[in-house]
A and B are shown apart, each in its own frame.
Chain A
């Protein structure tokens, strides 16, 4: 299959500057509209950077065949023609061309009909999940209507809204820990472990100096971020030196982190004056996160929102963010453009780990005050899915984190009012996520053939 002309606005031959500071990744590729295929990086680079023409590096979509197939609807049968187009320095691997930016574009400025159909798909997906959930609860012998009604009512109570904000804080931070590396093409499934290590490091510092009050709090935040970064750094190092996929190593490191924490709280750090439970002593009140006004919400939510904003700005408006996008979109092109790929990957992963570590500190100093088994309550995994739900875009990921936080809070009412086990909420969450994953997929990935 030879390379057909680009079907949708000539992206494959795009010429853009990787070095420019530019860049409105979001709005550039709107021309793609719904045909969000792997014109990807080429398309993005094209619209992005016309103004910064110096030091031009061409980045082209290697996979013109795929693009064409996507446009014509004959997706599944596309044979991959890895045609190197035009003067572009095309990456050899067309499949790995980043779609997230293009998708961003499509959903930032969609046509009105696509807004409706997107909303419709989401509504349909969530409704489907609720129906299946009801059936499952019914089988269990509980009344699903009552259970769901209780859940929604309890979510809307003022106290629950505070709870949602409290739960959302570490979720947002941990979701950012997924979003940032994802931009560079890394799958950080290790949020859970990085959160634990962040909390452990913070607790270590806190237990030593928490009488110092706010100073101790700052020290704890720094220690937690460093710890999280270190934990993610192990996975990054293994990826960069021996090429082991980070999704696997971060997953395994989660279990190692858990054992590290359990080891500490069952023996060396166990509270001698405690009730015999494996836990550290609680932090001094002075070293806890202050509350916002008269609410029960601690200041962690502010930290989280600021962090999300910073991540968004960094990814959207800095050269670093843009380079990460290039590395994630087409590593081969990035390499040929002489970007320091290894360093970018390492930094992305370290920053991600630091964010997750912060999530651990916020959870520890805002909610738990001491290390105990079950400290993290799957925050890391839930945040991974929140980030995924938002297709790794920072601001929507904040929304995803709030949505999942709401489901988690609603789950408590399931337990209290309907007598269902606490983990039942995992069913609801899983179903909603599966429905959203399955029914809002924008296009089949034609790489598989």
Chain B
């Protein structure tokens, strides 16, 4: 059934975007935009795939992917927080660095097999018609994503750490008054965000594509950045949005598998067009929801 295929594919394919977008949410709630998410994902994908191939353990690969993403994001954190470099320029540069590094070190893993995550149907639940196939016949990392978004939402809302992070993004001077270091909190948020993006990349390589190839993230990192904006920086909306994109991405192969002769690029463009349309529709409403310090970044973008 087409709908089931598209929805199930959306859940599977949206997972990588979701991890990256959740990471971007963490970073942006603390007031830092990381356009380097694309680079973090790429590095995470290669790191994850390479470690999985070398150790034979995809879980180690997942960890390595997160570490690789965190490492790249740490550069962003250093430059943006410590050196006050421009966030857009630094982020974009990180994308280049990610492209270059993965191309330099990734060539050896192109076409190389690595152990990945296989689907593990959830007992009982997987047998529910439609919903079972859409939600409960996936790999473990996808199930992990089911928990990640609500967990992040809870953490941001209800814990001291979440409060500190949100304050760093809304009223940094208030943190100062209370003896905290907004810079440090931001840096940690950016690094954590990078780790999540790296995790997303690793998921893409080890659980979705089961391969590594150059530039395999194909703009998912940028979609994640845009997604966070129209999800108004809320993890649960990020989750919904990610699955929407996953579905848009899954539409093309699903249609082609059924013999519809469509120009592939007319479908490839869908996620980007959908994002633009949603941004246009929600426009001002989302901007009002932006963390205060972040709005400042957006409004004074190329100021030096």
What residues of chain A have their CB less than 8 Å away from a CB belonging to chain B? 76-77, 79-80, 93, 95-100, 103, 136-137, 139-140, 178, 181-182, 185-187, 189, 238, 241-245, 247-249, 251-253, 255-256, 259-260, 262-263, 266-267, 328, 331, 378, 381, 384-385, 388, 391-392, 420-431, 433-434, 437-439, 441-445, 447-449
Asked if B154 CB lies within 8 Å of chain A CBs, one says no
Give 20 new A-B contacts, CB below 8 A, not counting A437-B83, A438-B90: A77-B176, A97-B303, A100-B303, A185-B300, A187-B301, A242-B283, A243-B283, A247-B35, A256-B272, A259-B265, A259-B272, A260-B269, A263-B265, A331-B299, A388-B86, A426-B100, A433-B96, A438-B83, A441-B85, A448-B172
Q: How far is the CB of B247 from chain A (nearest CB, A)?
A: 18
Asked if B226 CB lies within 8 Å of chain A CBs, one says yes
> Contact: A95 with B94, CB < 8 Å?
no
B279 neighbours in A (Cβ, 8 Å): 238, 242, 244, 248-249
> Contact: A449 with B301, CB < 8 Å?
no
- The interface-forming segment of B101-109, B111-119, B124-132, B140-148 is B101-109
B257 neighbours in A (Cβ, 8 Å): none
Partner of A266, one of B78, B88, B101, B265: B265
User: CB-nearest residue of chain B relative to A99?
Assistant: B304
Q: How far is the CB of B167 from chain A (nearest CB, A)?
A: 11
A427 to B105, CA, bound (A): 11
Interface of B is mostly: helix
Asked if B139 CB lies within 8 Å of chain A CBs, one says no
> Contact: A384 with B301, CB < 8 Å?
no
Asked if B275 CB lies within 8 Å of chain A CBs, one says yes
B100 neighbours in A (Cβ, 8 Å): 423-430
A93 neighbours in B (Cβ, 8 Å): 296, 299-300
A245 to B87, CA, bound (A): 14
A99 neighbours in B (Cβ, 8 Å): 303-304
Kindly state the interface size class of chain B when it binds its partner: 35 or more
> Contact: A431 with B97, CB < 8 Å?
yes
> Contact: B225 with A248, CB < 8 Å?
yes
B178-212 contacts to A, CB under 8 A, are: 182-183, 186
Q: How far is the CB of A107 from chain B (nearest CB, A)?
A: 11
A-B pairs with beta carbons under 8 Å apart, 27 shown? A77-B176, A93-B299, A100-B303, A181-B302, A189-B92, A238-B276, A238-B279, A238-B283, A242-B279, A247-B88, A249-B276, A251-B225, A252-B223, A266-B265, A267-B263, A328-B302, A384-B89, A385-B89, A385-B96, A423-B103, A424-B100, A426-B99, A426-B103, A430-B96, A430-B97, A444-B84, A448-B182
User: CB-nearest residue of chain B relative to A381?
Assistant: B92
User: CB-nearest residue of chain A relative to B276?
Assistant: A252
> Contact: A256 with B298, CB < 8 Å?
no
A187 to B301, CA, bound (A): 6
B183 neighbours in A (Cβ, 8 Å): 76, 448
A391 neighbours in B (Cβ, 8 Å): 304
